[in-house]
């Protein structure tokens, strides 16, 4: 077996193509877009390169590509909340062979050690946690959502046999959109709805700039300056809205206001992997025509709960329940477009969010493990603490 660092166009193509024959008989796998894999390694697109470095390898045996992996160091997160400097690996794919997997892991470990790292997390993203994060360990019978890892069950043993341990888990919650809500949610909504200073409305595309600013206002109150999260600028908010615009369904994005000021949001999007599964990884002109066809035909029946935020001064008042019920009035009665709702990436450490999600009747449908391996095996391993 031979490890080859990806250094040219031929290697880049082999890196992308490696997964295709591996999953050819797996009906639930949806091929990621080639452009999304390449974006992972493009400094012009992936701004994490401003604070780190990344490389990738393929593993070949008798000329056949049997594995791939990337390793990276993000200087912003390497030492943040870590006892030791920690790097990462991602986009791991491998045949069911422990020796092949070990060679890929060894290569990442050596590269990270050369850069002063003392541990590695994986499989994770070279960037934010909203994509390519965690190893699927439960929910193999369900199709992956956009930019979410899907893998074979044997991957868990490949990681754990090498010495990786679970650092934390990410849950994907799923509910039938039309099922009734927990009585507690309806009670909270009823109490808050008596206060006429609150009102709720769904996004309108013609006012996208306004809603971008409303999103920014709530985001900066709810998350900025906590756990090192920076303030969101108007330019960043505008960029987020522009990126979402092609797939926005305005009736499933909702905002709450108090005396006319934005205080909460609940953002859902159509789950685009339900359309991308028809393009076979290629978003060329044929792929774009297929995407447009299925978008117009409304073949997607799943929506993705992207993010939910409430300004701190309005938390604990039942606003979360009231906003959920305002959205429910639309998606359960007036606009029955999406029978399935999935909510990605609720960390097992976030107990408050898990309670909220369960109150709206969602159950865990997929589990992704984020693993960590300490290079010094004599050191004590600790899981990520609960919030």
Domains of the chain: 2-170+369-374 (3.40.630.30), 178-338 (3.40.630.30)
pLDDT at 161: 98
Share of the chain above pLDDT 90, in %: 71
Q: What is the mean pLDDT of residues 9-14?
A: 95
Residue 304 pairs in a beta bridge with 269, 342
pLDDT score for 226:
58
Q: In this predicted model, what pLDDT tens digit does every residue of 93-102 receive, in sequence order?
A: 999 999 999 9
Of 65-69, 206-210, 309-313, 351-355, the least confident: 351-355
Does 141 have pLDDT greater than 60?
yes
Mean pLDDT, residues 374-380 = 93
Return the pLDDT at 130. 83
Distance of alpha carbon 272 from alpha carbon 268, whole angstroms:
12
Of the pLDDT bands very low, low, confident and very high (cuts 50, 70, 90), residue 184 is confident
Q: Is the pLDDT of residue 228 over 60?
A: no
Give the pLDDT band of residue 225 (cuts 50, 70, 90). low
The sign of the torsion formed by the CA atoms of 196, 213, 217, 185 equals positive
71 band by pLDDT with thresholds 50, 70 and 90: very high
CB 367 within 8 A of CB 169: yes
Enter the tokens of residue 284.
């060329």
**Ranges 247-256, 303-312, 347-356: which has the least confidence:** 347-356
Task: Give the 3-state DSSP-derived string for the chain, with helices as H, strands as E and coil as C.
Answer: CEEEECCCHHHHHHHHHCHHHHCCCCCCCCCCCHHHHHHHCCCCCCHHHHHEEEEEEEEEECCEEEEEEEEEEECCCCCCCCCCCEEEEEEEEECCCHHHHHHHHHHHHHHHHHCCCCEEEECCCCCCCCCCCCEEEECCCCCCCCCCCCCCCCHHHHHHHHCCEEEEEEEEEEEECCCCCCHHHHHHHHHHCCCCCEEEEECCHHHHHHHHHHHHHHHHHHCCCCCCCCCCCHHHHHHHHHHHHHHCCHHHEEEEEECCEEEEEEEEEECCHHHHCCCCCCCCHHHHHHHHHHHHHCCCCEEEEEEEEECHHHCCCCHHHHHHHHHHHHHHHHCCCCCEEEEEEEECCCHHHHHHHHHCCCEEEEEEEEEEEECCCCCCCCCCCCC
- Is it the case that residue 44 has pLDDT exceeding 60? yes
User: Distance between CA 124 and CA 382 in Å, rounded?
Assistant: 18
Q: What pLDDT score was predicted for residue 381?
A: 93
**pLDDT for 296:** 83
Q: Is the pLDDT of residue 119 over 90?
A: yes
Share the mean pLDDT of the chain: 92
C-alpha 6/C-alpha 181 separation (Å) is 50
Return the higher-pLDDT residue of 284 and 163. Answer: 163
HSE-up (13 A, CA, CB side) for residue 105: 25
Q: What is the pLDDT of residue 227?
A: 52
């Amino acid at each position: 077996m031979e490890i080859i660092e990806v250094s040219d166009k031929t290697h880049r193509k082999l890196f992308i193509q490696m997964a295709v024959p591996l999953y050819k008989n797996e009906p639930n796998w949806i091929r990621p877009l080639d452009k999304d894999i390449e974006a992972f390694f493009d400094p012009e697109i992936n701004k994490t390169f401003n604070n780190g470095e990344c490389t990738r390898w393929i593993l070949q045996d008798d000329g056949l590509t049997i594995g791939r992996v990337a390793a990276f160091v993000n200087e912003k997160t390497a030492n943040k909340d870590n006892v030791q400097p920690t790097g990462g690996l991602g986009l791991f794919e491998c045949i069911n062979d422990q020796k092949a997997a070990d060679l890929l892991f060894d290569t990442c470990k050596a590269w990270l050690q050369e850069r002063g790292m003392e541990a590695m997390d994986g499989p994770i993203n070279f960037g934010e946690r909203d994509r390519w994060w965690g190893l699927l360990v439960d929910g193999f019978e369900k199709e992956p959502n956009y930019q979410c890892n899907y893998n074979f069950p044997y991957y868990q043993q490949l990681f754990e046999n090498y010495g990786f341990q679970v650092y934390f888990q990410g849950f994907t919650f799923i509910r039938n959109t039309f099922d009734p809500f927990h009585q507690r949610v309806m009670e909270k909504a009823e109490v808050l709805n008596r206060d006429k200073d609150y009102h709720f409305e769904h996004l309108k595309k013609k006012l996208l700039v306004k809603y971008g600013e409303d999103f920014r206002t709530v985001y900066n109150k709810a998350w900025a300056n906590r756990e090192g999260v920076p303030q969101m600028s108007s330019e960043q908010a505008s960029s987020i809205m522009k990126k979402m615009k092609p797939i926005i369904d305005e009736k499933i994005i909702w905002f709450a206001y108090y005396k006319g000021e934005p205080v909460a949001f609940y953002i859902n999007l159509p789950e685009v992997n339900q359309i991308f599964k028809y393009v076979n990884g290629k978003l060329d002109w044929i792929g774009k025509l297929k995407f447009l066809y299925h978008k117009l035909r409304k073949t997607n029946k799943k929506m993705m709960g992207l993010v939910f935020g409430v300004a701190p001064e309005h938390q604990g008042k039942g606003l979360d329940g009231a906003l959920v019920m305002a959205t429910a009035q639309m998606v359960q009665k007036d606009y029955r477009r999406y029978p399935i709702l999935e909510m990605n990436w609720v960390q097992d450490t976030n107990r408050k969010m898990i309670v909220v999600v369960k109150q709206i009747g969602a159950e865990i449908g997929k589990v992704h493990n984020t693993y960590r391996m300490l290079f010094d095996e004599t050191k004590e391993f600790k899981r990520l603490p609960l919030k």
